[in-house]
Amino acid sequence: MHGFLARLGVELPDLLITQALTHRSFSYENGGEPHNERLEFLGDSILGQAVTVKLFRDHPDLSEGTLAKRRSSLVSSVALAEVGRHIGLGVHLRLGRGEELTGGREKDSILADTVEAIIGAVFVGLGPEVANTFVLDLVTPLFADPDRFGAAMDPKTSLQEAAAERGLNPPQYSVTGEGPDHDRIFTAVVSVGSVKKGDAVGARLVAGDLNVLVSGHGVGSSKKQAEIAAALDAWTVLNRETSEGA
């Protein structure tokens, strides 16, 4: 736990950070121990305000509509889940057995909600100024990459456009689901840039007679969520490999 807090750059009481990391499924299975939904509610508001103010101050030339779209991108579940993965949040989550068995540590919704809960905990434990700085530190990598605004708002369209710009075949999605009907978890795989065998240089995967230049993976509580997460993963890989190959 101490290493986790060190990566966040904050110090919080054990009870407070423990609550922020506790999903309601764990609470229900452990005698009603306090869970993180109230902190998540608070953190969502703090996150939105911090991002809104920064966008307003940094971009006096942008219209209200453009600012709103950028804010939506930065506070989206996809973006916050990526923040959660970047700080290694998944391994520290306190989940009930059902969520544990259905891949809860990789679900975008749970990761995003927990990031918001941690923001709420920082506000409660350390005050509004520290919480504001903490939020901006978390999302700075997203601010620093303007191309991500469009990608995070609509990853599937962005991936399709990126593939077309490079003369690659359209993305192909494959989705599988597991778990009970009321609590299914879906895993999506998307492949981009399939070409005839021998035509690609440095292809990483082989599927039948085709080389897959880029693949992306995503997990979600619905097929749509899983495909969106996979598309953003593939978009990130495709842009990174294109930049490195330039």
CB-CB neighbours of 119 under 10 Å: 26
The annotated binding site is made up of: 40, 113, 116
Catalytic residue, from 82, 116, 227, 233: name it. 116
Catalytic residue, from 44, 82, 106, 233: name it. 44
The annotated binding site for Mg(2+) is made up of: 40, 113, 116
From the CA atom positions of the chain, what is the Rg in Å?
A: 19
Sequence-separated (6 or more) residues with CB below 8 Å from residue 134? 8, 9, 10, 119, 122, 126
What does the angle CA 153 – CA 111 – CA 117 come to, to the nearest 5 degrees? Answer: 105
3-state secondary structure 56-103: HHHCCCCCHHHHHHHHHHHCCHHHHHHHHHHCCCHHHCECCHHHHHCC
**Does 44 qualify as catalytic in the annotation?**
yes
**Does 58 qualify as catalytic in the annotation?**
no
Where in the sequence numbering do the catalytic residues fall? 44, 116
